[in-house]
């Protein structure tokens, strides 16, 4: 064998060994972190449900509901107190955001009024679209959606003829937020009508 082919063979063996070792380390890290990550996600979901919902005493289990004309389902968590329905929490989304998908947890009482919301994830502009976390709770003007029902209020931004004030300089984000909220309400009504 020539000196060049021996050198090539050694490099290939070294590269193969590094690849196997790196793969083993990645597999080990994944096995060590996958369960804590899953537990943290479940805990965050439970906390979000508790934060947005009316008082309840059951352990809500998700019901997947696909909005009419769409392919991506939302998850609805039916809530009861003393065995009687008191509302639901709905994990919803909108793909109409400025940057990417917006995910929310929205709570409804038994009358379909919004009891709260929590932004689960977004990629909106910091300082503008990211204000949705607090903007739609603010009682100034027509910002707050809390206590309102999408069945009786036109839950669109006022620029589009609706009853909700958009975030200043972030109308696209505001539209996406309200799109997700209306999707959640539509699924909640669909669920309550099917019972």
Phi-psi region of 103 (alpha: psi -120 to 50; beta: other; left: phi over 0): beta
pLDDT, position 105:
96
Mean pLDDT of 126-136: 80
Q: Are 57 and 79 in contact (CB under 8 A)?
A: no
pLDDT in tens, 21-63: 999 999 898 888 888 888 887 788 899 999 999 999 999 999 9
Domain boundary among 15, 31, 51: 51
pLDDT of residue 67: 87
At 68 the pLDDT is 84
pLDDT at 125 over 80: no
Per DSSP, 119 falls in state: E
| Largest distance between two CA atoms of the chain | 84
Question: Same domain, yes or no, for 19 and 63?
Answer: no
Predicted local confidence at residue 3, as pLDDT: 66
Overall domain count for the chain: 2
State pLDDT tens for residues 138-156.
Answer: 999 899 999 999 999 999 9
Residues 138 and 106 in one domain: yes
List pLDDT tens digits, range 92-114.
999 887 778 899 999 999 999 99
Residue 15 belongs to domain spanning: 1-51
Give the pLDDT confidence score for residue 97 in this predicted structure. 78
Are 29 and 68 found together in one domain? no
Instruction: Please tell me whether residues 84 and 171 are part of one structural domain.
Output: yes
Characterize the bridge pairing of strands 84-94 and 74-81: antiparallel
Q: In what order do the strands lie in the sheet with 63-65?
A: 63-65, 74-81, 84-94, 102-109, 114-121
For 180-189, what is the mean pLDDT? 94
Q: How far, in Å, CA of 117 to CA of 115, rounded? A: 7
13 and 108 within one domain:
no
The verdict on 20 and 81 lying in the same domain is no
In whole angstroms, what is the distance from residue 73 CA to residue 190 CA? 13
CB 90 within 8 A of CB 105: yes
Residues 57 and 116 in one domain: yes
- The residues that bridge with 116 in the sheet, in sequence order, are 107
160 vs 171: CA distance, rounded Å: 10
Q: Are residues 87 and 161 in the same domain?
A: yes
Q: How far apart are the first and last CA of the chain?
A: 79
C-beta separation of 90 from 75 below 8 A: yes
d(CA 140, CA 142): 6
Residue 69 or 2, more confident: 69
> Do residue 119 and residue 167 come from a single domain?
yes
For 106, the 3-state DSSP assignment is: strand
Q: Mean pLDDT over all residues of the chain?
A: 89
Of 95, 84, 98, 62, which Cα lies nearest the Cα of 187? Answer: 62
What is the model's pLDDT at position 32?
Answer: 84
pLDDT at 1 over 60: no
Predicted confidence (pLDDT) per residue in 66-86, tens digit: 988 889 999 999 999 999 999
> Tokens in use for 55?
């008082």
Clarify whether residues 13 and 65 are in a common domain. Answer: no
């Amino acid at each position: 064998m020539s000196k060049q082919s021996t050198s090539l063979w050694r490099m290939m063996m070294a590269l193969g060994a590094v690849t196997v070792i790196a793969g083993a380390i990645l597999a080990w890290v994944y096995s060590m972190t996958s369960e804590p990550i899953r537990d943290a996600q479940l805990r965050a979901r439970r906390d979000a449900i508790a934060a947005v919902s009316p008082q309840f005493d059951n352990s809500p289990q998700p019901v997947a509901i696909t909005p009419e004309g769409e392919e991506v389902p939302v998850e609805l968590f039916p809530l009861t107190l003393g065995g009687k329905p008191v509302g639901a929490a709905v994990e919803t989304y909108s793909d109409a955001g400025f940057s990417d998908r917006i995910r929310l947890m929205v709570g409804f009482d038994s009358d379909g009024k919004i009891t709260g919301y929590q932004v689960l994830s977004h990629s909106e502009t910091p300082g503008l679209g990211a204000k949705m976390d607090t903007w739609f709770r603010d009682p100034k003007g027509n910002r707050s959606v809390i206590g309102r029902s999408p069945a009786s209020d036109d839950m669109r931004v006022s620029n589009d003829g609706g009853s909700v004030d958009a975030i200043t300089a972030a109308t696209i984000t505001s539209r996406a937020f309200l799109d997700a909220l209306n999707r959640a309400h539509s699924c909640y009504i669909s669920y309550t009508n099917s019972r």
